[in-house]
Amino acid sequence: MNTTYPIAAVGELIGEPARAAILIALLDGKARTAGELALTADVSAQSASAHLSKLVDGGLLTASRTGRHRYYAMAGPDVAHALEALGSISTLPRARIAAARTRAADDMYTARSCYDHLAGRIAVELSVALQTCGVIRRSGQRDYELGRVGHAWFANLGIDVDSLRRSHRIFARQCLDWTERRPHIAGALGAALCSRLLALGWIACRRDSRALRITPRGAREFHSRLGLIA
Protein backbone atom coordinates (compact mmCIF):
# COMPACT_ATOMS: atom_id res chain seq x y z
CA MET A 1 0.00 0.00 0.00
CA ASN A 2 1.42 3.39 -1.01
CA THR A 3 1.13 5.57 2.11
CA THR A 4 3.12 8.48 0.68
CA TYR A 5 0.67 8.95 -2.17
CA PRO A 6 -2.62 7.24 -1.19
CA ILE A 7 -4.17 8.16 -4.54
CA ALA A 8 -1.67 5.78 -6.16
CA ALA A 9 -2.94 2.92 -4.00
CA VAL A 10 -6.54 3.67 -5.01
CA GLY A 11 -5.48 3.87 -8.64
CA GLU A 12 -3.85 0.45 -8.35
CA LEU A 13 -7.05 -1.01 -6.91
CA ILE A 14 -9.25 0.45 -9.64
CA GLY A 15 -6.78 -0.14 -12.47
CA GLU A 16 -6.92 -3.95 -12.46
CA PRO A 17 -9.52 -4.93 -15.14
CA ALA A 18 -11.41 -7.50 -13.04
CA ARG A 19 -11.64 -5.12 -10.10
CA ALA A 20 -12.77 -2.31 -12.41
CA ALA A 21 -15.52 -4.59 -13.75
CA ILE A 22 -16.64 -5.38 -10.20
CA LEU A 23 -16.76 -1.71 -9.24
CA ILE A 24 -18.71 -0.74 -12.35
CA ALA A 25 -21.21 -3.54 -11.71
CA LEU A 26 -21.85 -2.12 -8.23
CA LEU A 27 -22.38 1.46 -9.40
CA ASP A 28 -26.15 0.98 -9.22
CA GLY A 29 -25.90 0.87 -5.43
CA LYS A 30 -27.14 -2.72 -5.11
CA ALA A 31 -25.32 -5.42 -3.16
CA ARG A 32 -24.21 -8.61 -4.93
CA THR A 33 -22.65 -11.91 -3.97
CA ALA A 34 -19.09 -12.93 -4.81
CA GLY A 35 -20.45 -15.49 -7.27
CA GLU A 36 -22.43 -12.87 -9.17
CA LEU A 37 -19.44 -10.55 -9.31
CA ALA A 38 -17.15 -13.37 -10.46
CA LEU A 39 -19.43 -13.90 -13.45
CA THR A 40 -19.52 -10.17 -14.15
CA ALA A 41 -15.73 -9.90 -14.07
CA ASP A 42 -15.29 -13.21 -15.95
CA VAL A 43 -12.90 -14.62 -13.34
CA SER A 44 -12.87 -17.70 -11.12
CA ALA A 45 -14.54 -17.67 -7.72
CA GLN A 46 -11.12 -17.84 -6.04
CA SER A 47 -9.82 -14.90 -8.05
CA ALA A 48 -12.98 -12.87 -7.38
CA SER A 49 -12.62 -13.51 -3.66
CA ALA A 50 -9.06 -12.16 -3.72
CA HIS A 51 -10.10 -9.06 -5.67
CA LEU A 52 -13.06 -8.40 -3.37
CA SER A 53 -10.85 -8.70 -0.31
CA LYS A 54 -8.50 -6.05 -1.70
CA LEU A 55 -11.39 -3.72 -2.55
CA VAL A 56 -12.85 -4.08 0.93
CA ASP A 57 -9.47 -3.56 2.59
CA GLY A 58 -8.93 -0.51 0.39
CA GLY A 59 -12.18 1.05 1.55
CA LEU A 60 -13.92 0.97 -1.83
CA LEU A 61 -16.41 -1.79 -0.98
CA THR A 62 -18.22 -3.02 2.10
CA ALA A 63 -19.11 -6.63 2.88
CA SER A 64 -22.02 -8.02 4.89
CA ARG A 65 -23.37 -11.49 5.54
CA THR A 66 -27.00 -12.55 5.14
CA GLY A 67 -27.59 -16.22 5.87
CA ARG A 68 -25.05 -18.26 3.95
CA HIS A 69 -24.20 -15.49 1.51
CA ARG A 70 -21.74 -12.64 1.75
CA TYR A 71 -22.82 -9.51 -0.09
CA TYR A 72 -20.61 -6.74 -1.45
CA ALA A 73 -21.64 -3.15 -2.13
CA MET A 74 -20.14 0.24 -2.90
CA ALA A 75 -18.67 1.78 0.25
CA GLY A 76 -20.53 5.04 -0.32
CA PRO A 77 -21.53 7.75 -2.78
CA ASP A 78 -18.05 9.29 -2.82
CA VAL A 79 -16.67 6.12 -4.40
CA ALA A 80 -19.38 6.22 -7.07
CA HIS A 81 -18.68 9.91 -7.76
CA ALA A 82 -14.96 9.19 -8.15
CA LEU A 83 -15.63 6.37 -10.62
CA GLU A 84 -18.00 8.56 -12.65
CA ALA A 85 -15.39 11.33 -12.74
CA LEU A 86 -12.70 8.89 -13.88
CA GLY A 87 -15.08 7.68 -16.57
CA SER A 88 -15.41 11.21 -17.91
CA ILE A 89 -11.67 11.43 -18.65
CA SER A 90 -11.14 7.85 -19.80
CA THR A 91 -13.76 7.51 -22.54
CA LEU A 92 -13.92 8.94 -26.04
CA PRO A 93 -16.17 11.93 -26.73
CA ARG A 94 -19.72 10.95 -27.69
CA ALA A 95 -19.45 12.18 -31.27
CA ARG A 96 -16.59 9.76 -32.00
CA ILE A 97 -18.31 6.65 -30.65
CA ALA A 98 -22.00 7.32 -31.27
CA ALA A 99 -22.06 5.30 -34.50
CA ALA A 100 -20.63 2.23 -32.78
CA ARG A 101 -22.91 2.26 -29.72
CA THR A 102 -25.34 -0.57 -29.14
CA ARG A 103 -28.94 -0.15 -28.04
CA ALA A 104 -27.93 -1.10 -24.50
CA ALA A 105 -25.21 1.57 -24.55
CA ASP A 106 -27.70 4.14 -25.82
CA ASP A 107 -29.98 3.31 -22.90
CA MET A 108 -27.09 3.92 -20.48
CA TYR A 109 -26.28 7.23 -22.12
CA THR A 110 -29.90 8.37 -21.87
CA ALA A 111 -30.60 7.55 -18.22
CA ARG A 112 -28.98 5.34 -15.61
CA SER A 113 -28.47 5.11 -11.88
CA CYS A 114 -25.22 6.41 -10.42
CA TYR A 115 -25.24 4.79 -6.98
CA ASP A 116 -28.53 6.28 -5.69
CA HIS A 117 -29.12 9.20 -8.04
CA LEU A 118 -30.02 9.80 -11.68
CA ALA A 119 -27.27 10.10 -14.30
CA GLY A 120 -27.06 10.32 -18.08
CA ARG A 121 -28.37 12.83 -20.63
CA ILE A 122 -31.73 13.27 -18.91
CA ALA A 123 -30.05 13.90 -15.55
CA VAL A 124 -27.76 16.57 -16.99
CA GLU A 125 -30.60 18.25 -18.89
CA LEU A 126 -32.73 18.11 -15.75
CA SER A 127 -30.00 19.88 -13.79
CA VAL A 128 -29.73 22.61 -16.42
CA ALA A 129 -33.51 23.05 -16.61
CA LEU A 130 -33.85 23.31 -12.83
CA GLN A 131 -31.17 25.99 -12.79
CA THR A 132 -32.89 27.90 -15.60
CA CYS A 133 -36.19 27.79 -13.72
CA GLY A 134 -34.63 29.01 -10.48
CA VAL A 135 -35.19 25.71 -8.65
CA ILE A 136 -31.49 25.16 -7.94
CA ARG A 137 -28.32 27.19 -8.43
CA ARG A 138 -24.63 26.39 -8.38
CA SER A 139 -22.87 26.98 -5.08
CA GLY A 140 -19.11 27.08 -5.48
CA GLN A 141 -17.30 24.55 -7.64
CA ARG A 142 -18.77 21.37 -6.16
CA ASP A 143 -22.32 21.90 -4.91
CA TYR A 144 -25.84 23.06 -5.70
CA GLU A 145 -28.14 25.11 -3.47
CA LEU A 146 -31.86 25.82 -3.65
CA GLY A 147 -32.90 28.66 -5.94
CA ARG A 148 -35.66 31.20 -5.36
CA VAL A 149 -38.47 28.72 -6.09
CA GLY A 150 -36.64 25.55 -5.05
CA HIS A 151 -38.38 24.87 -1.76
CA ALA A 152 -41.86 25.14 -3.31
CA TRP A 153 -40.95 23.18 -6.43
CA PHE A 154 -39.59 20.20 -4.54
CA ALA A 155 -42.46 20.32 -2.04
CA ASN A 156 -44.91 20.15 -4.95
CA LEU A 157 -43.06 17.05 -6.15
CA GLY A 158 -43.34 15.50 -2.68
CA ILE A 159 -39.77 16.07 -1.47
CA ASP A 160 -39.13 17.59 1.96
CA VAL A 161 -35.88 19.48 1.49
CA ASP A 162 -35.74 20.51 5.15
CA SER A 163 -35.45 16.89 6.24
CA LEU A 164 -32.71 16.34 3.64
CA ARG A 165 -30.71 19.17 5.17
CA ARG A 166 -30.86 17.42 8.53
CA SER A 167 -29.28 14.27 7.13
CA HIS A 168 -25.55 13.58 7.44
CA ARG A 169 -25.03 13.68 3.67
CA ILE A 170 -23.94 16.55 1.44
CA PHE A 171 -27.18 18.31 0.49
CA ALA A 172 -26.66 18.61 -3.28
CA ARG A 173 -23.40 17.76 -5.02
CA GLN A 174 -22.36 18.47 -8.61
CA CYS A 175 -21.46 14.98 -9.86
CA LEU A 176 -19.58 14.99 -13.17
CA ASP A 177 -21.44 12.77 -15.64
CA TRP A 178 -19.00 10.50 -17.48
CA THR A 179 -21.06 10.28 -20.67
CA GLU A 180 -22.11 13.94 -20.88
CA ARG A 181 -19.06 15.53 -19.22
CA ARG A 182 -21.34 17.96 -17.42
CA PRO A 183 -22.67 17.73 -13.86
CA HIS A 184 -25.86 16.13 -12.64
CA ILE A 185 -27.37 16.32 -9.14
CA ALA A 186 -26.02 13.96 -6.48
CA GLY A 187 -26.03 14.07 -2.69
CA ALA A 188 -29.13 13.83 -0.50
CA LEU A 189 -31.20 15.90 -2.95
CA GLY A 190 -30.14 13.82 -5.95
CA ALA A 191 -30.98 10.59 -4.15
CA ALA A 192 -34.38 11.89 -3.02
CA LEU A 193 -35.17 13.16 -6.52
CA CYS A 194 -34.31 9.83 -8.17
CA SER A 195 -36.31 7.89 -5.57
CA ARG A 196 -39.31 10.19 -6.04
CA LEU A 197 -39.20 9.97 -9.84
CA LEU A 198 -39.22 6.17 -9.55
CA ALA A 199 -42.14 6.29 -7.09
CA LEU A 200 -44.12 8.63 -9.37
CA GLY A 201 -43.51 6.36 -12.34
CA TRP A 202 -41.64 8.95 -14.39
CA ILE A 203 -38.67 6.60 -14.68
CA ALA A 204 -38.42 2.83 -14.33
CA CYS A 205 -35.63 0.30 -13.89
CA ARG A 206 -34.52 -1.89 -16.77
CA ARG A 207 -34.00 -5.56 -16.06
CA ASP A 208 -30.43 -6.65 -15.28
CA SER A 209 -29.01 -3.20 -15.94
CA ARG A 210 -28.48 0.09 -14.18
CA ALA A 211 -29.95 1.81 -17.23
CA LEU A 212 -33.26 3.49 -16.50
CA ARG A 213 -36.27 3.94 -18.78
CA ILE A 214 -38.23 7.17 -19.18
CA THR A 215 -41.90 6.17 -19.08
CA PRO A 216 -44.59 7.77 -21.27
CA ARG A 217 -45.88 9.59 -18.19
CA GLY A 218 -42.36 10.72 -17.36
CA ALA A 219 -41.83 12.04 -20.88
CA ARG A 220 -45.04 14.09 -20.61
CA GLU A 221 -44.15 15.44 -17.16
CA PHE A 222 -40.56 16.31 -18.06
CA HIS A 223 -41.80 18.19 -21.13
CA SER A 224 -44.74 20.00 -19.51
CA ARG A 225 -42.88 21.01 -16.35
CA LEU A 226 -39.39 21.68 -17.68
CA GLY A 227 -39.51 21.59 -21.46
CA LEU A 228 -37.33 18.49 -21.65
CA ILE A 229 -37.54 16.09 -24.58
CA ALA A 230 -37.06 12.64 -23.02
Bridge partner list, 174: 185
Over residues 80-96, mean pLDDT: 69
Of 178, 12, 169, nearest to 77 by C-alpha is 169
Using pLDDT thresholds of 50, 70 and 90, give the confidence band for residue 35: very high
Over residues 86-114, mean pLDDT: 69
Using pLDDT thresholds of 50, 70 and 90, give the confidence band for residue 93: low
Domains of the chain: 6-75 (1.10.10.10), 92-226 (no CATH)
Sequence-ordered strand ranges (E) for the chain: 32-33, 61-66, 69-74, 112-114, 117-119, 136-139, 143-146, 173-176, 183-186, 203-205, 212-214
pLDDT in tens, 129-165: 999 999 999 999 999 999 999 999 999 999 999 999 9
CA dist 210 and 113 (Å) reads 6
User: Which residue type occupies 218?
Assistant: G
What pTM does this model have?
0.75
Q: Are strands 61-66 and 32-33 parallel, antiparallel or unpaired?
A: unpaired
- Interior angle at CA 153, CA 152 and CA 159, nearest 5: 90
